Amino acid sequence: MSRLSEVVEKINSQAGFTGLIRYDEPMSAHTTFKTGGPADLWIRPGGDCFPGYAAELLGAAKAAGIPVFILGAGANLLVADRGIRGIVLDTGDWSGWNGPLVRETEAGEGACILVRAGTAVDALAEAAAALGWGGPDFLAGMPGSVGGAVWMNARCYGHSLSDILLETEILDESENRVVLPGRAEDFSYKKSPFQGREILILSARFALERRPPAGIRRDIEERRRDRKAKGHYRFPSAGSVFKNDRTFGKPTGQIIDELGLRGLGLGDAMVAPWHGNIIINRGNARSADVRSLIEEVACRVKAARGFDLEPELRFVGDW
């Protein structure tokens, strides 16, 4: 029996496991780019057993020397065409909240909302707004899960996720549940303290603010409309490919536009004809095409302007 099946056997022998387990699961089904080859083993535990099961799985995989990749909504990933070796732990069904949605913070400084890591950030914004609270509304329309957005310190419309993050509950490297305060000094532009650590984000608590409900609703709809108008949902993509950098003096997308690179294509991968910092999959792009196109754009920007572009999306798997 392979080490992988041994881990699965061990885990499945636990009472109470619910969820999905598949061998050779195509990652193209789990990324917004709709590219990426098979994961050796893909597991999406059910919401009722998630934390206990995840702790057992991570411990057993570590003991067996099998790597585990944590998957949120797959909105910031370029997965290799050869796929991912080891286990992909999908947090998609660990969503929603447990207990009252909105509560007072323990320090008594206002209201907050506690959500599980697999919750879509758009659903978080919507849930808070439905109860008359703002705060997470800037995330409306952004693809991705709470866990992925915390890990990436996602940023849009002038706000970073860390601006509203009060606490994160994680399973640490020893599979202990630990609650960490969301200290502003630990986060920076698209950086969180979780990058570079082998942890699983279980849930996060966010600060809420009282604003007139009609204004919150208007802002939410405006974000969604704006993203639609900017072509975010027209083709599969992972949003912005490169980070912005203040030292460039302008947004990265504008630099790419000025060099006339919109519409540059490789196979079915293409720099969006309407946005220089988005690469789209026009149908049958391979991840290798996307990656080569990213390198080509970075190379041309370096040659013309001398800037080193840093990719924002993550290259994952067996490249």
Residues that bind ligand FAD (CB under 6 A): 32, 69-77, 91, 117, 142-145, 147-149, 151-152, 154-156, 200-201, 232, 237-239, 314
> Closer CB to ligand FAD, residue 111 or residue 143?
143
Which of 240, 287, 295, 296 is catalytic? The answer is: 240
> Closer CB to ligand FAD, residue 23 or residue 189?
189
User: Cα separations (Å) of 48 from 19, 90, 110, 116, 203?
Assistant: 9, 14, 30, 12, 14
How many angstroms separate the CA atoms of 100 and 102, rounded?
6
Give burial (CB, 10 Å; 0-12/13-18/19+) of 222: middle
> Closer CB to ligand FAD, residue 62 or residue 314?
314
Rounded to a whole number of angstroms, the minimum distance from the CB of residue 78 to ligand FAD is 10
Rounded to a whole number of angstroms, the minimum distance from the CB of residue 301 to ligand FAD is 20
Tokens matching residue 185: 């000094």
Give, in degrees to the nearest 5, the angle at Cα 268 between 262 and 274. Answer: 25
> Closer CB to ligand FAD, residue 111 or residue 238?
238
Q: Which residue has the tokens 């400084």?
A: 109
* 50 DSSP assignment: H
312 given a catalytic annotation: yes
Rounded to a whole number of angstroms, the minimum distance from the CB of residue 243 to ligand FAD is 10
Rounded to a whole number of angstroms, the minimum distance from the CB of residue 151 to ligand FAD is 4
Rounded to a whole number of angstroms, the minimum distance from the CB of residue 311 to ligand FAD is 12
Counting every residue written for the chain, the total comes to 319
Tokens matching residue 2: 């392979």
Give, in degrees to the nearest 5, the angle at Cα 173 between 167 and 178. Answer: 30
Which of 25, 56, 169, 312 is catalytic? The answer is: 312
* 110 DSSP assignment: S
> Closer CB to ligand FAD, residue 36 or residue 147?
147
> Could you give the residue numbers annotated as active site?
240, 312
